[in-house]
Structure 1
Amino acid sequence: MRVKPTLADFVKAYDVRGLVPDQLNAEVAHALGAAFAEVVAQSEGSPAVVIGHDMRPSSPDLAGAFARGVTARGVDAILIGLASTDGLYYASGALALPGAMFTASHNPATYNGIKFCRAGARPVGQDSGLTQVRDLAQAHLDRGVRAFDGVTPGSVTRRDVLADYAGFLRGLVDLSGSRPLRVSVDAGNGMGGLTVPAVLGRGEGRAPLPLTIDPMYFELDGTFPHHEANPLDPKNLIDLQQRVREHGADIGLAFDGDADRCFVVDERGDPISPSAITAMIAHREIAREIAGGRSAGEVAVVHNAITSAAVPEIIAEQGARPVRTRVGHSFVKGVMSEHDAVFGGEHSAHYYFRDFWFADTGMLAAMHVLAALGESDAPLSEVMAPFERYIASGEINSSVDDASDVTARVRAHVAGRDDLVVDDLDGLTITHGHTAEEPMWWFNLRASNTEPLLRLNVEAADADTMARVRDDVLMMIRETR
């Protein structure tokens, strides 16, 4: 007899992510569906919940069990079937309904998970309902609840939104005037294999785009037979880099498993940092707002605390307002809504758009990059060069016994220095401005929410300074082990 799982072990700060079936199974999904219907849908007066799923073998059954939990509480369920996470956000926004997306994103095939949102793709996190959903679902599991007395069950319907999603995105970025481009795309056997042809390929009643799509691993396969669908890990970009070089592509795109993140390599096969993509899209969106009649000072763009220093610099150079926030989609979305920001970007390749209900979409970000390249006669490396100003270390993880203690000791190492600025917005950030004696540099230390790790990011004006600061901080961390 299987022991009932403890939901607190795998219901995280922003979503659900657990092993199948030991943690996430049909019984758990049913309980979470019932709890979500009560805590989110009924509390905001929504008559239905929209539910999508990725290509993992366990996803359809889990989504079906969740739908049965939703309908058991008297709320209707709308199943949109196979979808990317931003496809689910589209359905939530267009239909004004709360939603649930079954995916474990880039995690291995043994995992699955759920990303939740309120109506209009608004986030659901630990401070905005997820804790209540978890606790109520745990109570349902503990009592063995499968039905609710006196409740008229809701109905289950199916709806295909893929074509509407594709049409909506194509209405936001016009690629019809682009010069012809050869685009290599690595879908990683994830949902990009469904959405890329729908958005960038030939559609019924639509004029073809001047794009030649060179597909890689478009077959939907949640066992990920070629490589993990996690382009944040450099080893998972190797196939795409080689393909771009061998086929003479103008650009390479790589999507993660649920296709809400997009990574870009240039015509040489060299990766372009997500911070540079953030800066470039911000530049385009600010220019569009100004062309539409807004004054630059009215335009806000949100970026997280780990993006390159070039991001706020480029935003400010256009006269717009850079707004810095903590890492994480619920923080970015919340701050974007508060400031009515036109765009937001993270160092992890999540890109958020006001015109997409402040939600993140890798496909729309890819379209902006394609548009910028298609409007220029230059190769992508030259198009992106103005947005790559500094040298970054990338994220470096260190195992520690007590992250807060280590962070405090690093802080003590730099205490009292007048040339440094200390910032506690998201972990510990230490910044040194450019002086005659020393170039600009900064580093950030953040504790993982789920593991005994400290995450270090360093950026500097040149490679030597970055390496020196990186090594100095890592030595401080090692000394405290």
Structure 2
Amino acid sequence: MEIDLSESFKAYDVRGIVGASITAEAVEAIGAAFVDVLGLSGQDVLVGGDMRPSSPEFAAAFARGAAYRGANPKMLGLISTDELYFAAGSLDCAGVVFTASHNPAAYNGIKMAKAGAVPVSSDTGLFDIRDLAQTYLDEGLPVSTEAPEGTVSEVDVLADYADYLRSLVDLSGIRPLKVVVDAGNGMGGLTTPAVLGDAILPGLPLEIIDLYFELDGTFPNHPANPLEPENLRDLQAAVVKHGADIGLAFDGDADRCFVIDEKGDPVSPSAITALVAVREIARAKAAGEETPVIIHNLITSRAVPEAVTAAGGRPVVTRVGHSFIKAVMAEEGAAFGGEHSAHYYFRDFYNADTGMLAAMHVLAALGQQDTPLSDFAAEYEPYVSSGEINSEVEDKAGAVARVLEEFANGHDLNPDHSGVVCPPCHPALENCETVVSTMDGTTVTATDGSFWFNLRPSNTEPFLRFNGEAVDRKTMELVRDGVLDIVRNNA
């Protein structure tokens, strides 16, 4: 069977269908290329995997390839993605975790990190690994002349990971909280008892009600993708049924965390970003930092930079994507970073993303006061968001051009309401003007702050992604519906 690795190597990781675009033979070649491209012969290389049925086989195949080229694989066993980042940072070793994150059971993939948890992306060697692995796959692995074949050993990092996270956020003194956690049969079923429960460390004032903690990569209950609203329904119902204070949902590899309030309503990742940012600013200031930097991508709510500025920090906007966020985190020495997709990055976690640490910050903030989460989180959600909406469009550039042309011509976004055009989109915004940014896709912002929206093309699918926000629901809906009508006209 011929494998074309360009089908599974994406901009930030490797992801494909097991037995079709990713096989054990291909993974062995990738392991060898990983060692050669990153110059790891004679060094330790960390190898772990999630609960997917193919992960153990793939981890073993990667280790064979890495050892053949002279590296010493350290097998981590079952791990979450943020456990890999912890291990790569604390042990100062390069490593990989086999996971396809929130993708369906038929998929698996690889997330890679250099020593210190520095990401490996298309800009930092991922495609070089792909090309060399393709050569090895097609022509066979060469004999290593630089070092003898490496040795394979095992190491367990779960206890150290849990202990380290506990050292960053002290939950021991908070008021008792009832917490429902939906692990979606993913790795949160392993990490939650270790960090928030008493499986390894002393118990906390948390009553954990578990949903789907059994590790099962076939996902028998629902897909481990909390970004899709239907996958939160069981958690929402359980929070209300048990009278819980909060609900937490992790994705398959447990590097993202979504939050549900006591009413069963989702708390937006932007609100969580703002909440955690304020806490991290206070923490950095207490340590003597004058103006801590907080990173956020351009899709997060305008409430994020406003909260950061009000707390005495400096907000820095970046493109969407973990490699961009991590790079800017390192360049700016930022204390924290957040994305609309519920990825949260911490300087104290090697600039890497961890949903568990973000969840701990939310629990600490909630448990240190008596206000219910719905009221507490509302302080960080003053605007109305559309959420991300995909439109299947072949000519994405043409669709964006039509939107910009219509805006320039005063397009009527609400034909049934005489005189409502965009700009201004709303009768109260008669003199509305907009500015356009092309940092990541195309962002149109009303200069009076009444709304903004972004159109960003997918790199891998025929989708144009819309995200928007406005000062009230009526304005948001007018902008959303009007722009989508333009985008999908002649799509």
Q: 2:450 is matched with which residue: 432, 437, 440?
A: 440
- Amino acid of the structure 1 residue aligned with 2:30: L
SS in 2 for 1:225: coil
Is 1:103 paired with 2:99?
yes
- Amino acid of the structure 1 residue aligned with 2:393: V
SS in 2 for 1:253: strand
Match of 1:201 in 2: 197
> Is contact 1:46-1:97 (8 Å) kept?
no
- Amino acid of the structure 2 residue aligned with 1:14: Y
- Amino acid of the structure 1 residue aligned with 2:22: L
- Amino acid of the structure 2 residue aligned with 1:21: G
- The alpha-carbon deviation at position 41 of structure 1 amounts to 4.1
- Amino acid of the structure 1 residue aligned with 2:56: P
SS in 1 for 2:185: coil
- The alpha-carbon deviation at position 306 of structure 1 amounts to 0.3
Residue deviations 1:176-218 (CA, integer Å, cap 9, x gap): 01100010000000000000000011155x4321001001100
Is 1:477 paired with 2:487?
yes
Tell me the distance in 2 between the aligned counterparts of 1:197 and 1:362. 14
> Is contact 1:104-1:111 (8 Å) kept?
yes
Match of 1:47 in 2: 43
Is 1:412 paired with 2:402?
no
Gaps of 5+ in 1: none
Match of 2:207 in 1: 212
Is 1:7 paired with 2:17?
no
SS in 1 for 2:174: coil
Give the count of matched residue pairs.
470
> Is contact 1:72-1:151 (8 Å) kept?
no
> Is contact 2:42-2:147 (8 Å) kept?
no
TM-score, normalised to structure 1, is: 0.96
> Is contact 2:70-2:146 (8 Å) kept?
no
- Amino acid of the structure 2 residue aligned with 1:16: V
Q: 1:93 is matched with which residue: 80, 84, 89?
A: 89
Q: 1:282 is matched with which residue: 258, 277, 280?
A: 277
- The alpha-carbon deviation at position 433 of structure 1 amounts to 3.1
Tell me the distance in 2 between the aligned counterparts of 1:291 and 1:321. 16
Q: 1:415 to 1:284 in 2, by over 3 A?
A: same
> Is contact 1:41-1:98 (8 Å) kept?
no
> Is contact 1:10-1:16 (8 Å) kept?
yes
- Amino acid of the structure 2 residue aligned with 1:429: T
Match of 1:423 in 2: 437
Alpha-carbon RMSD: 1.4
Gaps of 5+ in 2: 410-422, 424-431
- The alpha-carbon deviation at position 415 of structure 1 amounts to 3.6
- Amino acid of the structure 1 residue aligned with 2:267: I
Is 1:393 paired with 2:386?
yes
Tell me the distance in 2 between the aligned counterparts of 1:377 and 1:468. 37
Match of 2:76 in 1: 80
- The alpha-carbon deviation at position 319 of structure 1 amounts to 2.4
Is 1:365 paired with 2:358?
yes
Tell me the distance in 2 between the aligned counterparts of 1:404 and 1:35. 36
Match of 2:250 in 1: 255
TM-score, normalised to structure 2, is: 0.94
> Is contact 1:409-1:480 (8 Å) kept?
no
> Is contact 1:447-1:454 (8 Å) kept?
yes
Q: 1:23 is matched with which residue: 21, 24, 27?
A: 21
SS in 2 for 1:123: coil
Match of 1:323 in 2: 316
> Is contact 2:343-2:355 (8 Å) kept?
yes
> Is contact 1:286-1:318 (8 Å) kept?
yes
- The alpha-carbon deviation at position 412 of structure 1 amounts to 2.3
SS in 1 for 2:379: helix
Q: 2:133 is matched with which residue: 130, 133, 137?
A: 137
Is 1:340 paired with 2:354?
no
> Is contact 1:33-1:66 (8 Å) kept?
yes
Is 1:153 paired with 2:146?
no
Q: 1:203 to 1:220 in 2, by over 3 A?
A: closer
- The alpha-carbon deviation at position 53 of structure 1 amounts to 0.3
